[in-house]
Amino acid sequence: MPVPPIGRRQFITAAGGTLFCTLSGHRMSANSHVSMAGMERLGAEVPVPPLVRAADSDDQPHATFVSATAHAAQGTGQIREYWIRAERTHWNIVPTHRDGMMNARVPGRSTFTALAYRAYSPNFAAPLGPATIPGPLLEAQTGDTIVVNFRNETGAPVTMHPHGIFYTSDMDGAYKGAYTTPGGFVQNKRTFQYVWEAHPGTEGSWFYHDHGPLDPVPVFKGLFGPLIIRPAGAPVPDTEFFLTLHSFIPLATGLDNSFSCINGRAYADNTPTLRAQVGQSVAFHVFALDDDFHAFHLHGHRWVDPGGDLVIDTKVLGPGDTMTAEFIEDNPGRWFYHCHVFSHLHMGMNGWYIVSP
Amino acid sequence: MPVPPIGRRQFITAAGGTLFCTLSGHRMSANSHVSMAGMERLGAEVPVPPLVRAADSDDQPHATFVSATAHAAQGTGQIREYWIRAERTHWNIVPTHRDGMMNARVPGRSTFTALAYRAYSPNFAAPLGPATIPGPLLEAQTGDTIVVNFRNETGAPVTMHPHGIFYTSDMDGAYKGAYTTPGGFVQNKRTFQYVWEAHPGTEGSWFYHDHGPLDPVPVFKGLFGPLIIRPAGAPVPDTEFFLTLHSFIPLATGLDNSFSCINGRAYADNTPTLRAQVGQSVAFHVFALDDDFHAFHLHGHRWVDPGGDLVIDTKVLGPGDTMTAEFIEDNPGRWFYHCHVFSHLHMGMNGWYIVSP
Amino acid sequence: MPVPPIGRRQFITAAGGTLFCTLSGHRMSANSHVSMAGMERLGAEVPVPPLVRAADSDDQPHATFVSATAHAAQGTGQIREYWIRAERTHWNIVPTHRDGMMNARVPGRSTFTALAYRAYSPNFAAPLGPATIPGPLLEAQTGDTIVVNFRNETGAPVTMHPHGIFYTSDMDGAYKGAYTTPGGFVQNKRTFQYVWEAHPGTEGSWFYHDHGPLDPVPVFKGLFGPLIIRPAGAPVPDTEFFLTLHSFIPLATGLDNSFSCINGRAYADNTPTLRAQVGQSVAFHVFALDDDFHAFHLHGHRWVDPGGDLVIDTKVLGPGDTMTAEFIEDNPGRWFYHCHVFSHLHMGMNGWYIVSP
């Protein structure tokens, strides 16, 4: 069944499809494909909100950042400054073309043009590494202020919206229709400086993602990343992993199949192969960010569910939900971690966790 | 794809559909439409259960209520007496025809004949206001007894089934096939008096809904409402909100699309616009009641998950599930609250929360 | 829509279906039927992993078990030895052909060849009862060692993978592609001895299931069962129930419809009719094991969610997830327990709980 491009697409209800989202007045199902060109066209159809237009006409538009030290008074701790671009990246969901769990070939195409948040050195001088999905880890301790100098190079308006951390309403990175402020509508080639504060009571494992006018398309193309706020002075685990359970669906990829992914990849040997050693303190920070519910399971291990005292080895996660599993490693060998939803497991949401003695 | 009326409908499996429920021996998918006339016909096909028939032949059928004071001995607290009718109401899911979040028009029809629980003054003398979805808030403190004088004006048998509160098995408002007692099969134009007791240990944020012989159709047409049991003497939050995450699907509405709703409406500017002030104690009481799982998210805020000590800003809710988010308001501005399931968010499950300084 | 047998089946994406899993390189949807013959054929296509082949050539293959007493040193407690076969069984999902909740006939076929774990007396001398779905309860106390002498009589490779309890990586019963050890690929007519240890910190209500090379098909045909690890010396509830929320889908049954099941049966009067008495301590141990999320609800009762102090009457469960509801029975009558997902409730996931005064 070919995926109709935007423009030729009929209202999805006419074809008996299921409404997935409405973008700029166009209604589409999970199988509609929004290409990069389509995203640009859709983005161009969204009127620039009045408060964004007003800010745009300033002498000093968003290209100029407030010096990070200007924020020093806001928190009791450090300024954590990041330079992050949202950009396009050629992405292979199954680079090995193998399913290591089933020891089988994964047929079909698995490459598309994705979007990623990518960390840069100050003033966007140079990338700090290749584009990754999820994006760079943002870290703070209680009392710190996170400053993200954000530049949009995707071709369409996108944003950064964080979870968990404190932010004022002009810093939430959410498109709000007529009420949108500049942080909720960062146009292509423009910049915005987000300031988020790790107030006491915000400690936890969180994340950030696009929440702009084309939401949810940019999220489904890869615009999300982890954020952690640690209690000041608390010990950091010897080994910790940041995992995102999500999917790459035809809406975002134009590929024939959906892939159930962990950190942008599907199937063991493509998803992260995690490593630890007996005796280490280990933390799995997991968040879910697609249209599905997931059940994170780790073989050979169990942990106390944070916030209570129940021992579990499987944890339900909904979209926007996070969990942390912490334990002292005591069990060497080659283990699976995976989503326990069987179809997700078998559409790629699994990986290796290898513990050395 | 036209929705076949009941009667012409074939077994849904013949058409490759997915079984959603069986009503009076008819099998139907989520896209089958059960109109009010269809509900009447289906209701008429259900035999009146023997114990209901027996009670019906009493000299004093359900039109006569026990005086509320007769219940006074049952609890240690007050009698909270309600007069509630289930009735039809003309309902517009998207009265503004706008999606305030995306600042876009919502095309298509959004009006249908819904069902609602509606509060009346004693002896059903007069309605206390217009019919609402969800229905009226039922409140009690530990030790109180809730007496609901219930009258069915829907045209087909329906009931009221509460969650959380204590009730004896003849007061559970559930159709139980051959074992059904009168509270589980309230016929059209008949009444029943439910008595529910807020025993110690039942404190919490709960809800009630139809659980009669046509379940789940009346629920999907709007028959549900909130119920709260507060610890005796506990302070009430300065501001509190009761939200239901649910959907209006073609089965219930006959409309072309499903709508992801909060309190009977879809899309910001139609869903409740909530208001609070910095410094107030605020409570969000949320329950979910459709076929889906949801993830309640509030921008710019976080709260301690009750029952533990974990700070969250997104909470998974399944059908029949409830949550309460309580915090002291500290963050002025215009915020979103929404389901973080992306397709639900974009099919209408979002709203404004406006905090004044 | 006839369900194509394996072999004639095209890639499901060609037909617009949704990928459910990949088995031995074949991609299939939830509506593909994998018969027992199909399972044998698929199993024969999976190469015997190298480490399994190596173990196979030993003089003493898996037919010989280590004496249970040899394990005595491993734990501080008892050896709990089980003899369990995985075998085929003729299974009727709706033996009464009635839906007791709706007092209605359930039309259509409901019988298929299922798989079940079945307990035997030592050395597989004789079955301890008929095959059941779920399989036999495995019990241990803190410090005990569970030894399962497992024999596969299904016709295709299957395993036993436990949750919660401690096991070394060669005892996890998971197929791991090229890294598979003998416990992860128990061939037809072969045996394997699993040794699992109830270390301190593993106490809880858990379960076990197939995790072999044909996963998830054997699970969906019935290969799962309960496992409980009790704190040493803790009192056992007066009455306890072990319930599995799962489904029998066309993939596994070849039947026209999916059934939403509790313990292998659908619809009240087929699912377990549970009984207790006022004054008894009661425990419901529930686990979920299909592709869906569930919301376990019990009428007329509520309980403290373990691990916290929140009172609930409905609990979300994902695949691989478990819960325990414990309370002192105080409410006589005929009650429902059911999944609160409405379509699951109405596709059979409900049953009776009868409390005598």
Taking CB atoms and an 8 Å limit, are B172 and C104 in contact across chains? no
Q: Please check whether residue B342 is in contact with residue A216, taking contact to mean a CB–CB distance below 8 angstroms.
A: yes
Amino acid present at A273: T
Residues 6+ apart with CB under 8 A from A182: A51, A52, A55, A56, A62, A170, A192
Taking CB atoms and an 8 Å limit, are C21 and A347 in contact across chains? yes
Taking CB atoms and an 8 Å limit, are A319 and B299 in contact across chains? no
B164 to chain C, minimum CA–CA distance in Å? 6
pLDDT at residue B60 is higher than 90 = no
d(CA C202, CA A234): 27
Mutate one of A313, A337, A355 to test the C interface: name it (highest C CB count within 10 A).
A313
Say whether residue B268 is in contact with chain A using an 8 A CB cutoff: yes
- Give B-chain residues touching A177 at CB under 8 angstroms: 99-104, 268
Say whether residue A204 is in contact with chain B using an 8 A CB cutoff: yes
Beta bridge partners of A83: A120, A149
Largest CA distance in chain A: 61
Closest-CA residue to B228 (of A85, C311, C76, A143): C311
Instruction: Classify domain C235-357 at the CATH topology level.
Output: Immunoglobulin-like (2.60.40)
**pLDDT, position B70:** 53
Identical fold between B36-234 and B235-357: yes
Eight-class DSSP state of B13: G
Largest CA distance in chain C: 61
Residues 6+ apart with CB under 8 A from C66: C193
Rounded (5°) CA angle C196-C200-C201: 100
Residues 6+ apart with CB under 8 A from C60: none
d(CA B332, CA B325): 17
Torsion of CA C225, C231, C233, C238, to 10 degrees: -50
**pLDDT, position B55:** 85
Q: A292 in helix, strand or coil? A: coil
Helix H or strand E encompassing A228:
strand A224-230
User: Does B36-234 carry CATH code 2.60.40.420?
Assistant: yes
- Can you give the pLDDT of all 357 residues of chain C as single tens digits? 233 344 333 334 333 457 888 888 888 888 889 999 999 999 999 999 999 998 876 544 444 455 555 555 555 799 999 999 999 999 999 999 999 999 889 989 999 999 999 999 999 999 999 999 999 999 999 999 999 999 999 999 999 999 999 999 999 999 999 999 999 999 999 999 999 999 999 999 999 999 999 999 999 999 999 999 999 988 999 999 999 999 999 999 999 889 999 999 999 999 999 999 999 999 999 999 999 999 999 999 999 999 888 999 999 999 999 999 999 999 999 999 999 999 999 999 999 999 999
Say whether residue A167 is in contact with chain B using an 8 A CB cutoff: yes
Residues 6+ apart with CB under 8 A from B237: B280, B281, B282, B283, B326
* Both structure tokens of C193: 């001895």
Q: Please check whether residue A317 is in contact with residue A311, taking contact to mean a CB–CB distance below 8 angstroms.
A: no
Taking CB atoms and an 8 Å limit, are B268 and A20 in contact across chains? no
Q: Which of residues 10-49 of A touch B (CB under 8 A)?
A: 11, 13, 16, 18-22, 24-25, 27, 30, 47, 49
- Give B-chain residues touching A27 at CB under 8 angstroms: 107
Q: A221 in helix, strand or coil? A: helix
B260 to chain C, minimum CA–CA distance in Å? 16
Confidence of residue B27 (pLDDT cuts 50, 70, 90): confident
Phi, psi of C56 (to 5 degrees): -65, -30
pLDDT digits (tens, 9 = 90+) for A266-278: 999 999 999 999 9
Q: What DSSP string describes B120-172?
A: ESGGG-SBSSS--SS-PPEEEETT-EEEEEEEEESSS-B--EESSSB--GGGS
- Nearest CB to B177; choose among C101, C299, C341: C101
Cβ neighbours around C332 below 10 Å, total: 16
Of the two residues C63 and B304, the one the predictor is more confident about is B304
- Give B-chain residues touching A306 at CB under 8 angstroms: 308, 310
Q: Please check whether residue A135 is in contact with residue A96, taking contact to mean a CB–CB distance below 8 angstroms.
A: no
Quick one: average pLDDT of A312-326? 97
Taking CB atoms and an 8 Å limit, are B331 and A168 in contact across chains? yes
pLDDT at residue B53 is higher than 70 = yes
Quick one: average pLDDT of B17-29? 81
Residues 6+ apart with CB under 8 A from A238: A276, A280, A281, A282
Q: What's the ipTM? A: 0.92
pLDDT digits (tens, 9 = 90+) for A136-166: 999 999 999 999 999 999 999 999 999 999 9
d(CA C113, CA B283): 52
**Mean pLDDT: which of A74-78, B114-118, C66-70 is highest?**
B114-118
Eight-class DSSP state of A235: P
Quick one: average pLDDT of A208-234? 96
| Of the candidate ranges A23-32, A177-186, A243-252, the one whose mean pLDDT is the lowest | A23-32
Chain B residue nearest residue C269, CA to CA: B177
pLDDT at residue B97 is higher than 90 = yes
Q: Which of residues 86-105 of B touch C (CB under 8 A)?
A: none
Eight-class DSSP state of A181: -
Mutate one of C20, C21, C168 to test the A interface: name it (highest A CB count within 10 A).
C21
Closest-CA residue to B49 (of B163, B180, B155): B180
pLDDT digits (tens, 9 = 90+) for A30-73: 888 999 999 999 999 999 999 999 887 654 444 445 555 555 55
Taking CB atoms and an 8 Å limit, are A318 and B295 in contact across chains? yes
d(CA A332, CA A277): 7
Encode chain C in three state secondary structure: CCCCCCCCCCCHHHHCCCCCEEECCEEECCCCCCCHHHHHHHHHHCCCCHHHHHHHCCCCCCCCCCCHHHHCCCCCCCEEEEEEEEEEEEEECCCCCEECCCCEECCCCCEEEEEEEEEECHHHCCECCCCCCCCCCEEEECCCEEEEEEEEECCCCECCEECCCECCHHHCCCCCHHHCCHHHCECCCCEEEEEEECCCCCCEEEEEECCCCCCCHHHHCCCEEEEEEECCCCCCCCEEEEEEEEEECHHHHCCCCCEEEECCECCCCCCCCEEEECCCEEEEEEEECCCCCEEEEECCCCEECCCCCCEECEEEECCCCEEEEEEECCCCEEEEEEECCHHHHHCCCEEEEEEEC
- Give C-chain residues touching A299 at CB under 8 angstroms: 161, 169, 172, 174
Q: B349 in helix, strand or coil? A: coil
* Both structure tokens of C154: 């299904």
- Residue percentage of chain A with pLDDT more than 70: 90
Chain A residue nearest residue C293, CA to CA: A293
Taking CB atoms and an 8 Å limit, are B20 and C346 in contact across chains? yes
Phi, psi of A240 (to 5 degrees): -140, 150
d(CA C59, CA C140): 32
Query: What residues does each domain of chain A span?
Result: 67-234, 235-357
Say whether residue C291 is in contact with chain A using an 8 A CB cutoff: yes
Superfamily grouping for domain A67-234:
Cupredoxins -  blue copper proteins (2.60.40.420)
- Give C-chain residues touching A103 at CB under 8 angstroms: 47, 49, 177-178
Amino acid present at A8: R
**pLDDT, position B74:** 56
Rounded (5°) CA angle B82-B88-B89: 100
Quick one: average pLDDT of B196-217? 97
Q: Is A117 exposed, middle or buried (0-12, 13-18, 19+ CB in 10 A)?
A: buried
Strands B333-339 and B294-298: antiparallel
Say whether residue C51 is in contact with chain A using an 8 A CB cutoff: no
CB burial readout C55-64, b (16+ within 10 A) else e: beeeeeebee
pLDDT digits (tens, 9 = 90+) for B151-196: 999 999 999 999 999 999 999 999 999 999 999 999 999 999 999 9
Quick one: average pLDDT of B256-284? 97
d(CA B346, CA B221): 21
**pLDDT, position B58:** 54
Residues 6+ apart with CB under 8 A from A310: A304, C204, C306, C307, C308
Q: Please check whether residue A197 is in contact with residue A279, taking contact to mean a CB–CB distance below 8 angstroms.
A: no
Which chains would you list as touching B if contact means 3+ CB atom pairs under 8 Å?
Answer: A, C
**pLDDT, position B10:** 36
Phi, psi of C90 (to 5 degrees): -75, 120
- Give C-chain residues touching B19 at CB under 8 angstroms: 257-258, 343, 347
User: Does C48-233 carry CATH code 2.60.40.420?
Assistant: yes
What predicted TM-score, i.e. pTM, was given to this entire model? 0.93
d(CA B293, CA B355): 28
**pLDDT, position C17:** 59
Q: How far is CA A243 from each of CA A212, B154, C164, C223, C291, rounded to the nearest angstrom?
A: 23, 50, 22, 30, 21
